[in-house]
Amino acid sequence: MPELPEVEVVRAGLAPALTGATVTGVEVLDPRALKRHVPVGGSASDGGHGVTLDAAEGVRRAADFERRVTGLRLLAPRRRGKFLWVPVDGDDRSEPRALLAHLGMSGQMLLRALDAPDDRFVRIRLWIEHPEHGELRLDFADQRLFGSLALDDLIVDGGEPASLPAQASHIARDPLDPLFDDALFVESLLRRSTAVKRALLDQRLLSGVGNIYADEALWAARIHPETAGSALSERNALGLLAELRAVFTKALAEGGTSFDEQYVNVNGQAGYFSRSLHVYGREGEQCHRCRAVIKRIPFGGRSSHFCPRCQRLH
């Protein structure tokens, strides 16, 4: 699943072409990619990851989305954790709104020339016109259909009025956010009796961290993934936070992590941070720091990778 660096690479790639552009046309090719979209007259319970759309509801959502998104003026894309959104002008309702994208496991936002060949697994297509860059096509492709587009209300977020999509209201700020509260993070982490890796994946504590970057940051901080948060010192917690930021920054510079064709940037290109991984996916190989053998243990249906010598369980 895309994590903070991958989604930020997409946001940065979209920004020049989308900011100030107008949506001139929309085509919903697969209404299942609108499971988070709430049509006019619907309720908040109509949207959500677990929604299954019947044929009639799919047609209704597709028609509503195409009508309401066509003609919108797009503002600068924003992101929190794994959520990406584009605030809009010109919606037919008075409340501030945004075009919200959740990439799920395999969602892609691809910028294309109008005459470019079709991308695989395109679910929704937008045609846009930018005052400087001209006409372009924005394809939302999603092989596994866990992702979604939606037109969502913007709500008050701390001191920023009408700036956060309602569907992302439960998501905490991420460690690269200028308003991230280091002291609150440390205090919350040290109160937890659960494993520190589980805490890192809790999007209510901090956002944008998934399996890959949790393993990499814990290795860098020399902390075993099953260490309880309450067993850490304040110095340990601050060091872990610093390593998270360092890992994210390096991953951003290298375009994110790609192991297959499912994660690409807006031009369809893969990131190469996978070449810089120290533990994730390296079971049985030597630790880059002490040359012990990297181990893998089950973790919530996935795996944790760590060095048994550098990351001792206390």
pTM of the entire structure?
A: 0.86
Domains of the chain: 4-168 (3.20.190.10), 182-306 (1.10.8.50)
Max mean pLDDT among 18-27, 97-106, 114-123 falls in 18-27
- pLDDT grade for 188, boundaries at 50, 70 and 90: very high
> Active-site residue among 3, 6, 216, 243?
3
Cβ partners under 8 Å of residue 55, min gap 6:
none
- pLDDT grade for 255, boundaries at 50, 70 and 90: low
List the structure tokens of 39.
């049509």
What is the DSSP secondary-structure string of 174-219? PTTSTT--HHHHHHHHHT--SBHHHHHT-TTT-SS--HHHHHHHHH
Average pLDDT value for residue range 28-50: 79
Of 77-91, 135-149, 168-182, 233-247, least confident by mean pLDDT is 77-91
State the average pLDDT for the chain. Answer: 88
The answer to whether residue 82 is catalytic is: yes
Q: What is the pLDDT of residue 47?
A: 56
192 annotated binding-site participant: yes
The answer to whether residue 131 is catalytic is: no
- The yes-or-no verdict on residue 261 having pLDDT over 80 is no
> Active-site residue among 67, 191, 250, 302?
302
Q: Which of 271, 291, 222 is nearest to 282 (CA)?
A: 291
291 annotated binding-site participant: no
**β-pair partners for 27:** 125
> Active-site residue among 36, 82, 112, 197?
82
Looking up tokens 């700020």 gives 173
The answer to whether residue 2 is catalytic is: yes
> Active-site residue among 2, 31, 39, 87?
2
